């Protein structure tokens, strides 16, 4: 494992959690492209043919999955259930479309 110097304990924990989430998500939806932001240890997005599913790690480990298209809603629900079963904590799926 790489030792990163200069990060707070919280940043290290967030980075490890993000890495585990990305790995699990990629295993669950293998055809998804994973998009991460270098500056963020608390966000990644799954890019599918139908669109993107953003995943956010909030404070205290809460994980939110935002869904902005009806075609992605079932993907998000199934992903959340899978991640919960893998011990990633409580997940919330937010429908952001009308």
Model pTM score? 0.81
- Taking only the tens place, the pLDDT of each residue in 62-76 is 899 999 999 999 999
Residues of the chain with pLDDT under 50: none
The residues spanned by each domain of the chain are 19-95
**pLDDT at position 62, please?**
84
The dihedral sign for the CA sequence 22, 91, 77, 83: positive
Residues 6+ positions from 21 with CB-CB distance below 8 Å? 44, 55, 57, 63, 83, 88
Distances in Å between the Cα of 34 and the Cα atoms of 4, 21, 45, 57, 59 are 22, 11, 6, 15, 22
Tell me what pLDDT residue 14 has: 78
């Amino acid at each position: 494992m790489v030792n990163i110097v200069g990060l707070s304990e919280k940043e290290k924990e967030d980075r490890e959690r993000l890495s585990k989430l990305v790995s699990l998500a990629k295993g669950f939806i293998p055809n998804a492209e994973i998009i991460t932001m270098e500056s963020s240890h608390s966000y990644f997005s799954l890019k599918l043919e139908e669109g993107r599913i953003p995943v956010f790690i909030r404070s205290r480990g809460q994980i939110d999955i935002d869904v902005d298209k009806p075609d992605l809603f079932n993907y998000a629900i199934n992903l959340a259930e899978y991640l919960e079963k893998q011990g990633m904590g409580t997940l919330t799926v937010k429908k952001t479309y009308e």
